Homo-oligomer: A and B are copies of this chain.
Amino acid sequence: MSTYLTILGYNSAIPTVNASPTAQFLDMEERAFLIDCGEGTQVQLRKAKVRFSKINHIFISHLHGDHCFGLPGLIASFRLLGRDTALNVYGPKGIKEMMETIFRLTETHKGFEVIYHELKSKSSEKIYEDSRIEVFTIPLDHRIYCNGYLFREKPKERHLNMKEISKYPEIQTCDYHHIKSGRDFELSDGYVLKNSILTTDPTDPISYAFCSDTRYWEEVIPLIENVDVLYHESTFLHDLKEMADHTGHTTALEAARIARKANVGKLILGHFSNRYSDLSVFTDEAREVFPNTFLPKALEAVKIG
């Protein structure tokens, strides 16, 4: 089971023919997470051939239209497609009022439960957990209350060293679970086999940080330290630093500084202002500070880790 990120749209503000607003699909350990949902996201999901029924958790960073105006239509389509399982929506306080007002006035009878997890904390909090994955908020500094999200696999089980294990017939299949979790094994004669002999180190847990709209904000650094992939907005180049600050956005140079200080594996930029037609200027600027920087490729599933 691997983790794949599909960026569905990475442009800011106004949707155009070739520029979809923010939305990402994260397939992590067979969990299907949708991150942000600008207008047209449901069509982008179709282009990316994502099965709608897989999506049980939607994370909205903030309530600006280019990050959430696709949500009412997506949920209405879920209904039309016969969905009957609950849907979890994580987002700023107010998202429930907005969605439920829309559903009441449009007489959208959903036929399944939408569970809203409304956020208002300015500190990072764990908002999702299952046996394999945790999701944390990454509070950001935008014009409106806004969170990024950190998706992190839990530490994985150790790998069995079958060459060693096969030397001891009394170790049985039912013992593997404990051994993989790190325990030593005591043979019937009292001899203790150290776990470090019976296993090898586990695969590193994968982590992905999505930093949506924000000013340059160093407080995210401890939260996203060492993640495999960081998506960070970079609406402007650094010569428009003043405009970036004024509108609550980051420059490519600043995004790269965050990536370097947080020691991330790879940086993907996004949320580009429509004023730039050639996006390579963003990587040109960022790579001066953080060489492993990339532009997003819309609709392409990229393996993380």
Contact = CB atoms under 8 A, between A and B. Distances in A.
Given A39-B40, A43-B17, A73-B15, A63 B98 contact: no
B76 A65 contact: yes
B65 A72 contact: yes
Contacts of A295: none
Contacts of A102: 98, 101-102
B39 A105 contact: no
B97 A101 contact: yes
A116 to B, nearest CB: 13
Interface string A47-74: 1000000000000000111101110110
Interface string A130-170: 00000000000001100000000000000000000000000
Contacts of A108: 65
A76 B102 CA distance: 17
Nearest to A76: B65
Contacts of A143: 107
A294 B70 CA distance: 32
Contacts of A302: none
A129 B94 CA distance: 39
Q: Which of A17, A63, A105 has the largest number of chain B CB atoms within 10 A?
A: A105
Nearest to A68: B106
Determine how many copies of this chain the complex contains: 2
Nearest to A70: B39
Contacts of A106: 63-65, 68, 98, 144
A14 interface: yes
Contact of A77 (B14, B43, B46, B76): B14
A81 B143 CA distance: 19
A46 B15 CA distance: 9
A95 B42 CA distance: 23
Contacts of A69: 69, 72-73, 76
Contact of A73 (B65, B80, B81, B105): B65
Contacts of A277: none
A16 interface: yes
A304 interface: no
A296 to B, nearest CB: 19
A5 B203 CA distance: 60
A81 B46 contact: no
Given A39-B73, A65-B76, A46 B105 contact: no
A13 interface: yes
A47 B16 CA distance: 9
Contacts of A43: 15-17, 40
Given A16-B43, A94-B105, A98-B102, 19 more contacts: A14-B77, A14-B80, A15-B40, A15-B73, A17-B43, A17-B46, A17-B47, A39-B70, A39-B73, A63-B105, A63-B106, A64-B106, A64-B107, A65-B73, A65-B76, A66-B73, A69-B73, A97-B101, A106-B144
